[in-house]
Structure 1
Amino acid sequence: MTASNFTQLVSVGLVSFLTGFYIHQLLFAESGKDSAKKSRATLQRVTSSGEVSTEDSFDEDESDDEGVDINSLSLNEIPGEVRMTLIVRQDLKMGKGKAAAQCSHATLALYKKITNPESDAYNPEMVNRWEYRNGQAKITLQVPNQEEMDSLFVHAMSLGINAYIVHDAGRTQIAAGSATVLGLGPAPKLVMDEITSKLKLY
């Protein structure tokens, strides 16, 4: 088995495990009244798992997809490194664990967009460049507030970069519906820098 085949097998296994875990949490972890509603929601939108907070309580976050799936095929012609960018809002003052969970939600949502053959965002060539040529490169940056996050979101879509904003369910640290993290890509660094070059590392 080659290193490439092993990496692909591990990636598929990890995605399958996480998908199964999320579906189990959504469909079976809650008893009674909301289970049917959760089942329908699972089929209609991307949802995200929980994290363990400092109080050891289970925080189940939901995320609503803002925007549309972007056809990024034109970006395949741009050479160089491909990366995913995760931009965290600073004014919410999330704890590091909370921010990490929100970044995970954004990463998975973007990956689902770009690997779904039914989606306009489907771009297997870009996924291949990101996964196998660039080691799934990600960078985490910060933005001061939602207004600037929304501006970056619009700018990214205008350049053909897929974007996703995570909205928190509000069960632990922050208000329900808060836009926490903006995920961008995967896309060539040359294009991504047009949007994020002035942002500071998180």
Structure 2
Amino acid sequence: MKQAIVARADIGMGEGKLAAQVAHASLSAYEKADSQLQSQWKQGGQKKVVLKGESERQLHELSEIADSKGIPNALIRDAGHTQLEPGTVTALAVGPAADDRVDSVTGDLSLF
């Protein structure tokens, strides 16, 4: 079991902003998972990987793929209080789900 968080590398988020957006994505996708997936992931150590995203379009496409496979996912839009314009898509979390299911969506991406 794991979760992959794809954070946009093309919008120049500072380290703190990046960390916050990754955290938002992780929790939001976890909340969309059913109780069985939540339990399995928590018992397995809540494995996560953070990957580089290239664009807003890419994150939308990955979200659509995850949706089509029935994998919980969450697309995050920034509120715009600090570094970014309101509504900027910053991150996408895919999972928790079985490693191979998450990899079927995000397996071609590089680590952040």
CA deviation vs aligned residue, 1:12-58 (integer Å, no higher than 9, x gap): xxxxxxxxxxxxxxxxxxxxxxxxxxxxxxxxxxxxxxxxxxxxxxx
- Does residue 89 (structure 1) correspond to residue 12 (structure 2)? The answer is no
1:167 match: 77
1:188 match: 98
| Aligned ranges 1:44-193 → 2 under 5 Å | 82-114=1-33, 123-132=34-43, 134-193=44-103
- RMSD (CA atoms): 1.0
Structure 1 stretches of at least 4 aligned residues deviating more than 3 Å after TM superposition: none
Percent identical residues: 35
Q: What is the distance in 1 between the residues matched to 2:29 and 2:106?
A: 17
Larger strand proportion of the pair: 2
CA deviation vs aligned residue, 1:112-169 (integer Å, no higher than 9, x gap): 222xxxxxxxx2221221111x201111001111111111010011111011111111
Q: What is the distance in 2 between the residues matched to 1:148 and 1:110?
A: 18
1:108 deviation in Å? 1.6
- Normalising by structure 1, what TM-score? 0.54
- Does residue 200 (structure 1) correspond to residue 91 (structure 2)? The answer is no
Larger helix proportion of the pair: 1
Aligned length: 112
Counterpart residue type for residue 89 of structure 1: R
Give ranges in structure 2 of 5+ residues lacking alignment: none
